[in-house]
A and B are shown apart, each in its own frame.
Chain A
């Protein structure tokens, strides 16, 4: 249906990179995941059979219209919710409840307000039974990685939103999960902070051995961050497409000016738009649009 907006052919380098990624072991396997919730007298299907595989050290983004079940998907993978059907395997082991092979960063700030920054990062390590001195040492290393070592003794309430999410990332990574689950972690931040956080995250991800499953409703963000992008539709939540972003990761980070990314973005938009019209649930009236070419001349 979106044939007119096909992705550009992958370059030699990009193809080689995806070949390398796919050759790696599979960290997360989701097969036929079904999630239903009671609704009125009957049931409502939120996720109608999701299939998904991520490879080691892959960065996978999930996008889709609001209410399509992105949070439900990631929370089920985290073990915070139960599925009604299908399997979730992490490094081959089935998921029953939360576990140290998966860590999560939430959209809201979920740092423990009564613990200092350092003690927040130590929390998971202490739960894993590490002696305090060792937990302290490791936590400081993770804080250094996110650039917040100087704030080790501050309380979360004293930090800005971006800093809080950096601590949350350090806290999640400290338990050394195989996969980091992130549910719209930057959507509460202002645009400038968000851009900085995206760069931070890619930087950290390149330094350590972790796979990232990153949910966002911001298509720009998905295109800038992801190796592959899983596009979902709503009612019920189903996979529309698993898209390979046909771009490398230049040292300074990706730019939206890259034609390959522009094309990816256009395709994402058309996919989501098509399905939003198909299953419009909570459609807001579209804002009036003034077409630039109808104004006649540009601003200069």
Chain B
């Protein structure tokens, strides 16, 4: 926009590449192009999935039996390998028996988009008394994450800020934290169950262990990046010690700290999946493993999709919220 004001030499316009549209290296596409590309990045995988699901000549290595004929071990609805099916057809014809009938099918672990869509619909609007509730399981997971992240942040954020602000506290804390960070959180599963029982306690503990130590280090590093000139200016204006931390360090790093928290929240979700297998399985992980055991893979995909949509959506939302919370940051960009 500002470029328009700069008078350009006569030759400048000609030297611009003609096809500077969507495929110019290193150049940001226009907002419209960005939107289209963004939508396409979702539509393309969906199109591939649909093609593999609905075009019988793409992949479809199995035959779904519609009529077993006289083959003893075939049942209606079962999926047989293509070559086995062909052999049975040959054998039946040769023996004068009724040949089995079938249609090309994909393995059961790859449901078609519409099956997953139906499962999603049923999950969001469950029929009265209809089976295990996906949303209920999901809600349980959200609660685990909420409490774990709250507990971790309540200690981790202030400690991280103090470690960053006071190098003596940092030196005292960070070596141990650094060491602990390398201990895999799931390894504490048995211990957590022994101490905290078999219900939500150990699950929350594992997400906390997985999040907390990273949190301290990341937030300490962010705190150290505070502009030193601002601290000096504040000191010449009479700010000291904790007031300097509270009135200058914290507000100065707040936007970065907020972004750190967004990233850490994403990590907390990845620890959730392990945590939920500890003690009595629960939440979205329990739902997924159970549905997979019954081969209801459309429900598995529905659950994974909900995880993705909620994770991606909440991150977008938090990014928006960040821009609204820190207007002074946005205006300087």
B327:A127 contact, CB within 8 angstroms: no
CA distance A171 to B230 in the complex (A): 13
Segment at the B interface, from A32-40, A82-90, A102-110, A192-200: A102-110
Pair B331/A157 contact, Cβ less than 8 Å? yes
| Cβ contact within 8 Å between B238 and A80 | no
Q: Does B237 have its Cβ within 8 Å of any Cβ on chain A? A: yes
A110 CA to B332 CA in the complex, in Å?
14
Closest B residue, CB atoms, query A126? B247
Dominant SS at the A interface? loop
The answer to whether A114 touches B233, judged by C-beta atoms less than 8 angstroms apart, is: no
B196 contacts A by Cβ under 8 Å: no
Question: Given A155-B331, A156-B328, A157-B332, A114 and B254 touching (CB < 8 A)?
Answer: yes
Q: Is the CB of B331 within 8 A of A100?
A: no
Query: Once the chains bind, are B235 and A113 in contact (CB under 8 Å)?
Result: no
- B251 touches A (CB below 8 Å): yes
Contact between chains at B332 and A127 (CB < 8 Å): no
Q: How far is the CB of A161 from chain B (nearest CB, A)?
A: 13
**Could you tell me the distance between the alpha carbons of A175 and B232 in the complex, rounded to whole angstroms?**
16
Q: Is B229 engaged at the interface, CB distance under 8 Å to the other chain?
A: yes
Least CB distance, B19 to chain A, in whole angstroms: 36
- Proximity bits, A106-135, B CB within 8 Å = 1, else 0: 101010111100000001100110000000
| A78 in contact with B243 (CB, 8 Å) | no
Cβ < 8 Å to A, chain B residues 196-249:
229-230, 232-239, 243, 247-248
B248-266 vs A, Cβ < 8 Å mask (1 yes, 0 no): 1001101000000000000
- Are the CB atoms of A103 and B236 closer together than 8 Å? yes
> Most A CB atoms within 10 A — which of B235, B236, B327, B328?
B236
Per-residue B-contact encoding for A41-64, CB less than 8 Å = 1, 0 else = 000000000000000000000000
Contact of A124 with B235 at beta-carbon distance under 8 Å, contacts A106-B229, A112-B248 already known: no
- B residues within 8 A CB of A172? 236-237
Asked if residues A104 and B233 are in contact (CB atoms below 8 Å), the reply is yes
- B331 near A98 with CB under 8 A, answer no
Q: Which residues between 162 and 212 of chain A lie within 8 Å of chain B, taking CB atoms?
A: 171-172, 175
Candidates B229, B237, B327; contact of A123 at CB < 8 Å: B237
Closest to A75 in B: B232
Cα-based distance from A100 to B254 in the complex (angstroms): 27
A171, closest chain B residue (CB):
B237
Contact partners of B243 in chain A: CB under 8 A: 127
Given A110-B229, A114-B251, the answer on whether A127 and B237 have CB atoms closer than 8 Å is yes
Q: How long is the Cα–Cα vector from A190 to B268 in the complex, in angstroms? A: 50
Inter-subunit contact A98/B235 (CB<8 Å): yes
CB nearest to B229 among chain A residues:
A110
Measured between beta carbons, the chain B residues less than 8 angstroms from A98 are: 235-236, 238
State whether the Cβ of A10 lies closer than 8 Å to any Cβ in chain B. Answer: no
Contacts of A99 in B (CB 8 A): 238
Is the pair A110, B230 in contact by a Cβ cutoff of 8 Å? yes
Residue A158 lies at the interface, judged by CB distance under 8 Å to chain B = yes
Number of interface residues of B (CB under 8 A): 22
A131 to B29, CA, bound (A): 51
The answer to whether B121 has its CB under 8 Å from any CB of chain A is: no
| Proximity string of chain A (234-275) to chain B, C-beta cutoff 8 Å, 1 when within and 0 when not | 000000000000000000000000000000000000000000
Q: Is there contact, CB below 8 Å, between A110 and B233?
A: yes
Q: Which residues in A have their C-beta under 8 angstroms from that of B93?
A: none
> In the complex, A127→B234 CA distance in Å?
9
A171 to B229, CA, bound (A): 15
State in angstroms the CA–CA spacing of A114 and B327 once bound together: 8
| Bound complex: CA A281 to CA B55 (Å) | 77
Inter-chain contacts of B332 with A (CB < 8 A): 113, 155, 157
Interface residue B326 (Cβ < 8 Å from any Cβ of A) = yes
Closest beta carbon of chain B to A138's beta carbon, Å? 14
Chain B residue at smallest Cβ distance from A181: B236
A124–B329 alpha-carbon span in the complex (Å):
22
Closest-CB distance, A31 to chain B (whole angstroms): 22
CB contact list, B22-46 vs A, under 8 A = none
CB neighbours (8 Å) of B251 from chain A are: 112, 114-115
CA–CA, A71 to B30, complex, Å? 46
- Which residues of the other chain, B, contact A104 by a CB distance below 8 angstroms? 232-233, 236
With known contacts A110-B230, A112-B251, A157-B332, A78–B236 Cβ distance under 8 A: yes
Taking each of A78, A104, A113, A115, which has the highest tally of chain B beta carbons within 10 Å of its own beta carbon? A113
How near does chain B come to A20, taking the closest CB pair, in angstroms? 30
Contact A128–B254 (Cβ < 8 Å): no
Taken together as a complex, chains A and B put the C-alpha atoms of A155 and B327 apart, in Å, by 9
Smallest distance from the beta carbon of B299 to chain A beta carbons, Å? 47
Q: Tell me the bound Cα distance from A172 to B233 in angstroms.
A: 9
Give chain A residues whose Cβ lies under 8 Å from the Cβ of B238.
Answer: 98-100, 124, 127-128, 175
Chain A 272-300 near chain B by CB (<8 Å), digits 1 or 0: 00000000000000000000000000000
Q: Are B237 and A103 in contact (CB under 8 A)?
A: yes
Could you give 18 example pairs across A and B, Cβ below 8 Å?
Answer: A80-B235, A97-B235, A98-B235, A98-B238, A99-B238, A106-B232, A108-B229, A110-B229, A110-B230, A113-B332, A114-B328, A114-B329, A123-B247, A127-B237, A127-B238, A155-B327, A155-B328, A157-B332
Task: A108-B229, A124-B238, A127-B238 given; name 9 further pairs at CB < 8 Å.
Answer: A79-B235, A99-B238, A102-B236, A110-B229, A112-B248, A114-B329, A157-B332, A171-B237, A175-B238
Closest CB pairs A-B (n = 4): A157-B332, A127-B238, A124-B237, A110-B233
